[in-house]
A = this chain, B = another copy of it.
Amino acid sequence: MADFELNILGCGSALPTTRHLASSQIIDLRDKLYMIDCGEGAQVQMRKMRIRFSRLNHIFISHMHGDHCFGLPGLISTLGMLGRNGDLFVHGPAELGDYLDSILKLFCQGLPFNVRFNPVNTEEHTLVMEDRSVSVYSIPLKHRIPCCGYLFKEKQREPHIIREMIDFYQIPVKEIQYIKQGADYVTPDGKCVPNHLLTRPAVPARSYAYCSDTAYRPEIIPYIHQVDLLYHEATFQETDLPRAHETFHSTAKEAATIARDAEVKRLIIGHYSARYDDPQPLKQEAVAIFPNTTLAKEGMKVNL
């Protein structure tokens, strides 16, 4: 299983095409799954990508446009049919609570698990949820309706113990937790073995930011500064800038400008308008400003 992997289930925009599915992604982090947006068809795409339903506990919805949440009722129903017991946490704008209430009432009588809704303040950069592995923060975006992105900050892992050194000094098991936390080891005859001889540092904590849907909004840069991976919507080409402004979406050039100015390590663009048969020109536009840009594609898996 992946350590920190982004799975792209869908990266189209609102109008259906045969080329793309509606927005949905799954972060696979230390054996747990976190879904971001859940457009129509997300559950079938999970099947196709062989992503297991049982490891999913948290769903984050960016905003109340159908192409970002019309897959939720089907997914929740399916989890029920599969006999899920544990709570499912759904995070998103306040109105999402009304939607969930109505779906649960009309379609999910006798659901064998609880759906716990956590309203997210889309206007502020706040902690939305945290567990052992990750902290998730909202990223206030600028769209036609309340909308936020999500920042996934992995928690720093403990360093790795060097087994040979533990054996060599015959260090008792009970000391190991302290060594993992940075302590040196003092032998019974008083010799100090410094921590760096006993451990190897863990991989640095990684971070992922999801920003869709939004007009160009440089105010988000401090929140996504130097993330390992940024997904930013690029609905339009620069030639369609008036349409981007009108609909509160970004151009590929604007997405790349955000990536460059936030000094992120890598950019993936998506949420392509149905008007483009081929997203390559969007990539060319972005690469001119931020070279390390990739086009999102259904079924894509990206290791961080």
Which residues from chain A sit less than 8 Å from chain B, CB to CB? 14-18, 21-22, 40-41, 43-44, 46-48, 64-67, 70-71, 73-74, 77-78, 81-82, 95, 98-99, 102, 106-107
Contacts and interface: CB of A to CB of B under 8 A. Distances in A.
A98 to B, nearest CB: 6
B47 A16 contact: yes
Nearest to A106: B99
Contacts of A81: 14-15
Copies in the complex: 2
Contact of A73 (B18, B21, B41, B70): B70
A44 B21 contact: yes
Given A70-B73, A77-B14, A95 B106 contact: yes
Contacts of A40: 40-41, 43-44, 70-71, 74
Contacts of A14: 77-78, 81
Closest 9 CB pairs of A and B: A102-B102, A40-B74, A66-B77, A70-B74, A16-B44, A41-B41, A16-B43, A18-B47, A18-B48
A44 B41 contact: yes
Contact of A66 (B47, B67, B74): B74
A44 B77 CA distance: 20
Given A40-B43, A70-B74, 7 more contacts: A16-B78, A18-B48, A40-B44, A40-B70, A66-B107, A70-B73, A102-B106
Interface of A (DSSP majority class): helix
Given A40-B43, A40-B44, A64 B102 contact: no
A139 B21 CA distance: 35
A64 B18 contact: no
Nearest to A43: B16
Contact of A17 (B47, B64, B107): B47
A77 B15 CA distance: 9
A107 B44 contact: no
A247 to B, nearest CB: 11
21 contacts: A14-B77, A14-B81, A15-B81, A15-B82, A16-B46, A16-B47, A16-B74, A16-B78, A17-B47, A18-B44, A18-B47, A40-B43, A40-B44, A40-B70, A40-B71, A40-B74, A41-B41, A67-B74, A67-B77, A99-B102, A102-B106
A64 B106 contact: yes
Residue of A18, A21, A70, A71 with most chain B CB atoms under a 10 A cut-off: A70
A73 B73 CA distance: 11
A81 B71 CA distance: 19
